[in-house]
Structure 1
Amino acid sequence: MNFLQTDILIVGGGVGGCACAIAACEAGLNVIVTEETDWLGGQFTAQATPPDEHGWIERFGSTKSYRLFRENVRKYYRENYELTEEALNNPVLNPGNGWVSPLCAEPKVFLQVIEGILGKYTASSQLTILKECIALEAENEGDYVNSVTIQNVKTGENTKITAKYFVDATELGDLLPITKTEFVTGSESRNDTGEPSAKNEADPHNCQAFSVCFALSYHPDEDWTIEKPEKYDFWKDFIPQITPAWSGKLLSLTGLNPRTLEPVHYKFMPNNEPNKAFAGLWTYRRIIHKDNFKRGIYFSDITLVNYPQIDYMLGDLCNASGEERARMIKEAKQQSLSFIYYLQTEKGLKGLKLRPDVVGTEDGLIKYPYIRESRRIRAEFTIKEQHISAQARFPEKTAQKFQDSVGLGYYRIDLHPSTGGDNYVDVESLPFQIPLGALIPKRVENLLPVCKNIGTTHITNGCYRVHPIEWNVGESIGNLLAFCLSEELTPRQVRNDSEHFQVFQSILMKSGIETEWPENLNLEEGDPHIHAM
């Protein structure tokens, strides 16, 4: 057993964990970050998913550091790739010209930029990063966590880490049960929350599907057909058992419009889709557009596949044991491989090439499943549909204002088909704030969430789960913990005392964290794309 001590232990090196570490280190704290995979960056990297963002993202509605991170990604391409003159001089360069975001880029570039930002802190030993580690157990005393023991998944070596504050930045809220922090999973009932889109009865096992994504290029004169997946015969005939009913077989280029639940035929034209929004699946999350690079650099685009056809609905990761998780992820990988094989054989696209070099794995599938829903803390304040729904707030142009705002976000309430048999839930939301009360557990004093484990409901998780919001939450918590340690306060005291909170909020604003939306927003201009996949 090894022993370490630090100011802040962040378990999970995803988007929120990295943003928290940056803010805490910038404030002078000593930090340890643990990460289950060998890549930091979560949704950007190990899950390989370009960011889901709103239409104002280049100007406002996110933190200053998030926009700087995005600009550093563009800078990396300008300095390290042979771009066309037009792409090189484009101030809002989008390497993939994907239409989900103005910045669709390769996971390895996001990784390089994140590691570059954190590098100055690791070089000074202010920050320690322990990769390929998971949390095993914790020691508590009353309402405080004293230590967390982590295990290296390759060597089996254990390390006990004591800290003043602990941050759960895991994708599934894995720190919550072992620290005895109260949490909820799945969907709440309408009686519990009053939400119009909630079910009549609560179901703790009703979580959004997760996905095992992958990258593809297309070479029409070559044959890159993979070996027939072991479970292909099962998946090729699989019809989701959800209500309202799916359009037919899941492995198909016909699905449902998330907003109307009407059948829709997806366009999928590798290297030949128009370069515009809603052109088709190939361009949706395209991360390399060959036309942005000098002739001969790329012979094909590269796209990131995160489509409904690879949504795994047959199991709930949040309530699963380690063995059950491994089984479900293995099955989800078979589903993803089956979709590739379907496209190559049934659709005649044998030139589709799986790209392990892009996602950093041997099998070509991402390092970690793309997670849409996590355990969620029972919080001081829970964000509900009626706080942010456009219909509930009509005729307002913004969601309910919170006195304890520590950031901003905007995305539709977007829930994918679920393990409890629900089809899409897609509800128009309004630009919203991030209330500090949703980041503070009801009881535990020195553990904070920075991922999809904040105080939302099953419904509102659908719009608080995307990249820029997770970054904002992490950055705000990093600043909060620095303020708490310098002033000898708890997070709860900061929120519940107006004078303390005003001082803290001014610190956030000075650091570039926006806490209020501008007046007279043009909602059409900022409308997020059709939905987050």
Structure 2
Amino acid sequence: MKYFCYLAVLVVTVLRAQEVVVIGGTPGGIATAVTAARLGHAVTLVEYHQRIGGMSASGLGASDIENRAMIQGFFREFVDRVKAHYVAAYGEKSEAVKLCKDGYWYEPKVAEEVFERFVKEQPKITVLKQHELVSAEVKEGRVVAVTILNRGTKEERKLKARVFVDATYEGDLIAAAGAEFRLGREGRDDFGEPHAGHIYNVPGGERIGGTGAGDKRMQAFTFRIPLSSDPENQVPLTAPPAGYDRTRYLGYFEDLKGGRFGNNLTTIAFTVRKLPNEKVELNMKPVPLGFVFAEENAGYIEAGWEERERITKKIRDLSLGLLWFLQHDSEVPENAHETALRYQPCKDEFPEYGHFPFQLYVREGRRLVGEFTLSERNITEQAGLPSERMHEDAIAVGEFPIDSFPMQKKQPGDTVVLEGYLGMLKKITRPYQIPYRIMVPKKVNGLIAPVPASTTHVAFSSIRLEPTWMALGQAAGVAAHLAMQHGVEMRKVPVKEMQELLVKQGAVLRPE
């Protein structure tokens, strides 16, 4: 994406200065905005889409967390409000409450409603939806303003603030501000990471090949699709997407013949999770060699929004095409037809988006080069690698197993796993402290990055989950408050005071 910094900018409107501007209405961005507003600060939250909530409000209906006790604070508030919604609507003993799993699983519209309530409770938060970041203004090494574009009216606005927050999945603000960032994956020797670079790794197991070389490849982006089994709440697919090509999906037949993943082609291609109100969450399984989504995101991160929308549509159509293929292709076995036809897009979700999720699952974008870079040694315990999981400036705990989607489609000779897939490395990942320094740029001031944080690709494959991002967002909100309160740069925020305030807010800073 072509960004530039400049000292003077002509825009239609200059909004009154805010104390905090958050770019990205993701869960991490919302946590930052709400936390800062609760501490008394005026906040503007800027979101590209028509809806806030990122992936949690766009189909990711199951919170990715293995050890619930490790992430509390704002995320626990979110979970508790989700459960309270279902209890109030259906009763404590209802099937909906049972399926929400104490609030950790939910329908997209419920997650969005909870996020909307969070921000509406704070009169100091201004939410600007359908606004695109255009540029950042930097003076003497400090971000002093950003220019945003109203996608509907095409009006540009200049927002001034004391603290700017990058809560985008893509890392757009750190790029606009001229902060150093990484894109792609490091080589095995760059940080001494056994699982870095070009790799073949048995799902959940050991490395079985790969050169270890770094490159600019990105793990596959997909959609998480909510579907309904209730005929009254279905909008059935009546035709394949434009440009549908059944040959794209024929590789799944080889997985079926191999017998490694069961005998139902639909559940070979998708993971199906039950959600409240006769809905399911559809996730594309990255294990089959026929997995079609790798490499389809090439160029997305650095592209402008017009090209991003084109790539997003391509992945959307590939997703709908896979569902159509499983529902209707004459060569697909009947048991797979039956399973696939049971579920259809939900009438009560995303009507303005054609009942399809609005947010592409951008699993990884730019990653800040910060005061500290979190790497594999900071999140694992494994033979031959020092484990350095504790930090004096800890502001959250990470706990999710290293998990990266494939980087490449099936290559000649691939018979076990696709290249780049690091599937749920529970055997080596251990709960770890996340240092404040990974959110702070090395040189640029007035900027903090709780979502595109400073990690290697391998470490990002553990922190890149919404519960963790909410914890980091909460910490960013506290850090912004203290920076303004003490009149210091973000890198000089008093760490002990930040930690004490986070603990008072219910955050967990030390793995038990």
TM score, norm. by length of structure 2: 0.83
Q: Which residue of 2 aligns with 1:491?
A: 490
Deviation at 1:516, TM superposition (A): 0.6
Deviation at 1:450, TM superposition (A): 1.9
Deviation at 1:419, TM superposition (A): 5.2
Q: 1:251 to 1:104 in 2, by over 3 A?
A: farther
- 2:227 maps to a residue whose letter is L
Aligned to 1:230, the other structure's residue is in SS state: coil
Which of 93, 108, 113 in structure 2 is aligned with 1:85? 93
Q: 1:20 to 1:220 in 2, by over 3 A?
A: closer
In the alignment, the residues of structure 2 paired with residue 120 and residue 389 of structure 1 have an alpha-carbon distance, to the nearest angstrom, of 39
Which of 128, 148, 168 in structure 1 is aligned with 2:126? 128
Is residue 53 from structure 1 mapped to residue 65 from structure 2 by the alignment?
Answer: yes
Q: Which residue of 1 aligns with 2:297?
A: 315
In the alignment, the residues of structure 2 paired with residue 219 and residue 106 of structure 1 have an alpha-carbon distance, to the nearest angstrom, of 14
Q: 1:227 to 1:251 in 2, by over 3 A?
A: farther
Whether the 8 Å contact between 1:36 and 1:133 is mirrored in structure 2 is: yes
- 1:70 maps to a residue whose letter is V
Which of 422, 426, 429 in structure 2 is aligned with 1:425? 422
Is residue 434 from structure 1 mapped to residue 445 from structure 2 by the alignment?
Answer: no
- 1:108 maps to a residue whose letter is K
- 2:99 maps to a residue whose letter is P
In the alignment, the residues of structure 1 paired with residue 235 and residue 225 of structure 2 have an alpha-carbon distance, to the nearest angstrom, of 18
Pairing 1:160-199 to 2, within 5 Å after superposition: 160-199=158-197
Whether the 8 Å contact between 1:39 and 1:46 is mirrored in structure 2 is: no
In the alignment, the residues of structure 1 paired with residue 399 and residue 264 of structure 2 have an alpha-carbon distance, to the nearest angstrom, of 27
Q: Which residue of 2 aligns with 1:296?
A: none
- 2:297 maps to a residue whose letter is G
Number of residue pairs matched? 460
**1:1-49 deviations in whole A, cap 9, x for unaligned?**
1112100000111111000011101111110001111211112113544
In the alignment, the residues of structure 1 paired with residue 263 and residue 63 of structure 2 have an alpha-carbon distance, to the nearest angstrom, of 21
Is residue 237 from structure 1 mapped to residue 226 from structure 2 by the alignment?
Answer: no
In the alignment, the residues of structure 1 paired with residue 165 and residue 297 of structure 2 have an alpha-carbon distance, to the nearest angstrom, of 27
Which of 259, 266, 274 in structure 2 is aligned with 1:286? 274
Aligned to 1:176, the other structure's residue is in SS state: helix
Deviation at 1:286, TM superposition (A): 2.2
| Percent pairwise identity | 26
Q: Which residue of 2 aligns with 1:214?
A: 225
In the alignment, the residues of structure 1 paired with residue 39 and residue 455 of structure 2 have an alpha-carbon distance, to the nearest angstrom, of 28
Aligned to 1:28, the other structure's residue is in SS state: coil
In the alignment, the residues of structure 2 paired with residue 356 and residue 392 of structure 1 have an alpha-carbon distance, to the nearest angstrom, of 51
Q: 1:306 to 1:283 in 2, by over 3 A?
A: closer
Deviation at 1:334, TM superposition (A): 1.2
Whether the 8 Å contact between 1:94 and 1:104 is mirrored in structure 2 is: no
- 1:486 maps to a residue whose letter is Q
Structure 1 unmatched runs, 5+: 240-247, 257-261, 271-279, 291-300, 495-499, 519-533
Pairing 1:337-416 to 2, within 5 Å after superposition: 337-345=320-328, 346=332, 347-349=336-338, 350-392=341-383, 400-416=389-405
Q: 1:109 to 1:433 in 2, by over 3 A?
A: same
**1:123-154 deviations in whole A, cap 9, x for unaligned?**
xxx11110010100111112101110000111
Whether the 8 Å contact between 1:169 and 1:449 is mirrored in structure 2 is: yes
**1:254-297 deviations in whole A, cap 9, x for unaligned?**
599xxxxx932376889xxxxxxxxx988743222x5xxxxxxx
Aligned to 1:450, the other structure's residue is in SS state: coil
Q: Which residue of 2 aligns with 1:295?
A: none
Deviation at 1:384, TM superposition (A): 0.7
Deviation at 1:434, TM superposition (A): 1.1
Deviation at 1:408, TM superposition (A): 0.8
TM score, norm. by length of structure 1: 0.80
In the alignment, the residues of structure 1 paired with residue 308 and residue 257 of structure 2 have an alpha-carbon distance, to the nearest angstrom, of 27
Pairing 1:463-478 to 2, within 5 Å after superposition: 463-478=462-477
In the alignment, the residues of structure 1 paired with residue 408 and residue 270 of structure 2 have an alpha-carbon distance, to the nearest angstrom, of 27
Q: Which residue of 1 aligns with 2:311?
A: 328
Q: Which residue of 1 aligns with 2:511?
A: 517
In the alignment, the residues of structure 2 paired with residue 168 and residue 251 of structure 1 have an alpha-carbon distance, to the nearest angstrom, of 42
Which of 259, 263, 267 in structure 1 is aligned with 2:260? 263
In the alignment, the residues of structure 1 paired with residue 169 and residue 394 of structure 2 have an alpha-carbon distance, to the nearest angstrom, of 24
- 2:422 maps to a residue whose letter is V
In the alignment, the residues of structure 2 paired with residue 226 and residue 304 of structure 1 have an alpha-carbon distance, to the nearest angstrom, of 20
Aligned to 1:365, the other structure's residue is in SS state: coil
Q: Which residue of 2 aligns with 1:460?
A: 459
Whether the 8 Å contact between 2:80 and 2:103 is mirrored in structure 1 is: no
Is residue 305 from structure 1 mapped to residue 282 from structure 2 by the alignment?
Answer: yes
Whether the 8 Å contact between 2:397 and 2:511 is mirrored in structure 1 is: yes
- 1:118 maps to a residue whose letter is V
In the alignment, the residues of structure 2 paired with residue 76 and residue 134 of structure 1 have an alpha-carbon distance, to the nearest angstrom, of 32
Structure 2 unmatched runs, 5+: 1-11, 198-211, 286-290, 410-417
Deviation at 1:83, TM superposition (A): 4.6
Q: 1:506 to 1:267 in 2, by over 3 A?
A: farther
In the alignment, the residues of structure 1 paired with residue 390 and residue 135 of structure 2 have an alpha-carbon distance, to the nearest angstrom, of 38
Q: 1:382 to 1:209 in 2, by over 3 A?
A: same
In the alignment, the residues of structure 1 paired with residue 284 and residue 402 of structure 2 have an alpha-carbon distance, to the nearest angstrom, of 18
